[in-house]
Amino acid sequence: MLLAAALALTASTAGMTGASAHSPTLSSPVPSPDSSPGTSPDTSPGPGGAPIGPGCSALESSLPNIADQTAATALSEVPDLSSLDEAVQEAGLADRLDQAEALTIFAPDNKAFEAIPQDARDQLMGDNEELTRVLTYHVVEGKKTPADLEEEGTLTSLEGGELEVKGSGENLTINDAKLVCGGVQTKNATIYVIDKVLMPE
């Protein structure tokens, strides 16, 4: 429990990991990317429309490459999510994410990981049980659009804890994490890049 305490102390300034799932079938592929200029500067619209968020332009070059990829594979294709990808691999969750039918993943970016003190981060990465618990707290069942998130408000994660969604559009927050870029479509998941790691209670 020393790890949980250390992480709790840094949660207000930190950011960390997210992802995990179960269901064993893959959903139907997402429509091919649309690069029309206009709204958000992104290229991978899915059922909920083009991705939204203040950080979408930084991810623009990666998005066309992941629309037809399954969840964990997609994470590995986005440079800004390389720390999350490493955590998913370390926890052995990649296959579960890739084989799930439909997920929503709240994905802390690299800056979120870097905000965690190195000692606490190393300890978490070395504790598979706690790492899995943290990662699965960032994942919910079903592919949620931004409108779905606004309507539902409270979501139950795969870890079992609740996530609170507030705001709308680019101003969505998940617990105390701000949206960087959301509504990014992959073959079996919708990804919302966030600026902090969400810590389960």
Q: What is the CATH number of the domain that holds 59?
A: 2.30.180.10
In a domain, 128, yes or no: yes
Number of domains forming the structure of the chain: 1
Give residue-wise pLDDT tens across range 104-116: 999 999 999 999 9
In a domain, 151, yes or no: yes
37 — pLDDT class (breaks 50, 70, 90): very low
Q: Is the pTM of this model over 0.85?
A: no
Residue written as token pair 């929503």? 104
Q: What is the dihedral of CA 22, 43, 55, 16, to 10 degrees?
A: 20
> Is it the case that residue 34 has pLDDT exceeding 90?
no
In a domain, 136, yes or no: yes
Mean pLDDT of all residues belonging to the chain: 81
What pLDDT was estimated at residue 132? 97
Distance CA 183, CA 75 (A): 14
Q: State the residue range of the domain holding 165.
A: 55-194
Distance CA 64, CA 51 (A): 12
What pLDDT was estimated at residue 96? 96
Distance CA 6, CA 121 (A): 10
50 — pLDDT class (breaks 50, 70, 90): confident
What pLDDT was estimated at residue 127? 95
In a domain, 47, yes or no: no
> Is it the case that residue 17 has pLDDT exceeding 70?
no
What pLDDT was estimated at residue 9? 38
Q: Name the residue with higher pLDDT: 184 or 38.
A: 184
Structure-block tokens of residue 129: 């049980």
Strand order in the sheet with 139-141: 139-141, 103-108, 189-194, 177-185, 173-174, 162-166, 154-156
* Percent helix, percent strand, percent coil in the chain, to nearest 5: 35, 20, 45
Q: What are φ and ψ of residue 108, in 5° steps?
A: -65, 135
